[in-house]
Amino acid sequence: MKMSLNIQILLGALFGVLVGLYLQQTGLETATASAGLYGARLIGTLFIDLLKMILIPLVFCSIVVGIANLRQHQQMHKVWVTTLIFFMLTMAIAMIVGMTASNYFKPGTGLAVSIFEGAMQNFQSKQMPLPDFFAHFLHHLFVNPFQALAEGKVLSVVIFALFLGIALVVGGERYQNILVLLEEALAVTMRIVNWIMYLAPYGIAALLIKLVATQDVAMLGTMAQFVAVVAGTLLFHGTVMLPLILFLLTGKSPLWFWQGARQALITAFATSSSSATLPITMRCATEQLGVKPEIAGFVIPLGATMNMDGTALYEAAAALFIANLVGVDLSFSQQLIVFLTSMLASVGAPGIPSAGMVTMVLVLQAVGLPAEAIAILLPVDRMLDTLRTTVNVEGDMTASLVVQKIVS
């Protein structure tokens, strides 16, 4: 009997974690272990390369076609507004969950900042004043489309595709051929995504072997309280809040959602990249969760770059952790600044591994915390990135279902 792809992916993930733990225990010095790790790196990177290869054509075609088809249904305005409101609301809820738990458990208060001094001294933080960050973000919206396509700038591609989609609609019959061409291109791109999916079980196993085998377990122990608060609240948001929101707004059960979404969720966990996962997220949304391509084609690529519940939660919780560590008591209004800047920083973070940690500088600077302190997060960031990326991708699929329900 042939195993379904879902089962293969689950087994691949399990295998990856177990082999990674084994290598972690036995050490990476032996010839077999280093050969194994080399193989895992190679296969994992190839899998991500394949996803990134198809990402830009997919985003481009799906947004243009999505927008063009939405306008035909006179729904575009409603979809836009609902999508953006839903993104902001769920990010806000995630941050409230993370900040409440951080205020309650106060991770970092018992730790001596001196153990991190070496790391902080060696770390060159980039200054990121709020106005500069904002200007930088805006300048990345409108980019020569050929440059954006060639350099894989997802957000800039999304914006150009939006313009093109709207232009095609406004032009109507006149540009029908271009629309048909892009519809065909989208279909053929999805066919390639389906091929790449056959490699997903191996790619995921390889990525997880590498991730688990190279984890700094001692550091995870030192920062256990912070890791527990972030992981616990991410899990709470992902398994309670988002499913509850989905159920209340669409009547869909969490189990049904998980069954349809699991390929994308596991890939997000293994790759720690919403962008690399995007082709699979699109596939799950349209083929398994029944989201219409014109809704998914708009909500999911936009969500992969803007809607990051997990990242927003992490940035807010990490800022409070660092404040505790350096002994700064943040007032209510300062926490409000953390809340607002974390939202901005997560919207501005690209969907790639550890992006959230980099844009966190913005949050720290806004409340006068030392930017070098993000060096403290380095050893645990990669591990926590798995969970927050999974929550980010879950948020995107939830958004596509909710928007579909609200506009239909």
In the bound state with ligand ASP, the residue whose beta carbon lies nearer, of 242 and 355, is 355
Nearest approach, Cβ of 386 to ligand ASP (angstroms)? 9
Picking from 65, 88, 84, 73, the residue whose alpha carbon sits closest to that of residue 162 is 65
How far apart (Å, rounded) are the C-alpha atoms in residues 390 and 388?
5
Binding residue count for ligand ASP, defined by CB under 6 A: 16
Residue 263 binding ligand ASP, by CB under 6 A: no
CB of 235 to ligand ASP, least distance (A): 16
Integer Cα distance of 33 and 38 in angstroms? 9
- The interaxial angle of helices 293-306 and 374-407, nearest 10 deg, is 160
CB of 173 to ligand ASP, least distance (A): 40
Identity of the residue numbered 398: T
User: In the complex with ligand ASP, which residue's Cβ is closer, 83 or 359?
Assistant: 359
Who contacts 80 (Cβ-Cβ below 8 Å, separation ≥6)? none
Q: How far is the CB of 277 from ligand ASP (least distance, A)?
A: 8
Cα-Cα-Cα-Cα torsion 5, 306, 380, 262, nearest 10 degrees, comes to -20
Instruction: Say how many Å lie between the first and final Cα of the chain, rounded.
Output: 40
Q: Which among 162, 95, 93 has a CA at the least distance from the CA of 301?
A: 162
3-class DSSP assignment, residue 272: coil
Q: How far, in Å, CA of 156 to CA of 135, rounded?
A: 14
207 to 15, 81, 268, 274: CA distances (angstroms): 11, 37, 11, 15
Nearer to ligand ASP, 189 or 359 (CB): 359
Map residue 4 onto helix, strand or coil: coil
Rule CB under 6 A: is residue 311 a binding residue for ligand ASP? Answer: yes
Residue 368 near residue 323 (C-beta atoms within 8 A):
no
Residue whose token pair is 């949304």 = 285
Of residues 82 and 311, the one with the C-beta less far from ligand ASP: 311
Give, in order, the Cα–Cα distances in Å from 76 to each of 72, 293, 313, 398: 9, 14, 30, 19
Closer to ligand ASP by CB, 230 or 369: give it: 230
Q: According to CB under 6 A, which residues from 269 to 288 bind ligand ASP?
A: 272-274
203 or 353: CB nearest ligand ASP: 353
Nearer to ligand ASP, 69 or 271 (CB): 271
Closest separation in Å from C-beta 353 to ligand ASP: 5
Report d(CA 40, CA 20) in Å as an integer: 10
For the CB of residue 304, give the shortest distance to ligand ASP in the complex, in Å: 7
State the nearest-atom distance from the C-beta of 106 to ligand ASP, in Å.
23
* Binding-site member from 335, 389, 398, 400 for ligand ASP (CB under 6 A): 389
Query: In the bound complex, what is the minimum distance in angstroms from residue 327's beta carbon to ligand ASP?
Result: 27
Closest CB to ligand ASP among 64 and 234? 234
Whole-number minimum distance, CB 361 to ligand ASP, in Å?
Answer: 13
Q: Closest separation between CB of residue 110 and ligand ASP, Å?
A: 26
Confirm or reject binding of residue 289 to ligand ASP (CB under 6 A). Answer: no
Q: Nearest CA to 249 among 374, 408, 362, 111?
A: 408
CA 380 to chain centre: 17
341 near 385, Cβ under 8 Å? no
Dihedral of alpha carbons 39, 45, 51, 57, sign: negative
Query: What's the min distance (Å) between Cβ of 326 and ligand ASP?
Result: 23
Q: Compare residues 206 and 349 and give the one whose CB is closer to ligand ASP.
A: 349
The answer to the question of residue 308 lying near ligand ASP (CB under 6 A) is yes
Q: Please choose, from the candidates 106, 10, 108, 61, the residue with its C-alpha nearest in 3D space to the C-alpha of residue 325.
A: 108
Q: Does 101 bind ligand ASP (CB under 6 A)?
A: no
Of 369-388, which residues contact ligand ASP (CB under 6 A)? Answer: 385, 388
CB nearer ligand ASP, residue 23 or residue 268: 268
Which residues between 324 and 363 bind ligand ASP (CB under 6 A)? 349, 351-356
Q: Which residue's beta carbon is nearest to the bound ligand ASP?
A: 356
Return residues touching ligand ASP (CB under 6 A).
Answer: 272-274, 308, 311, 349, 351-356, 385, 388-389, 392
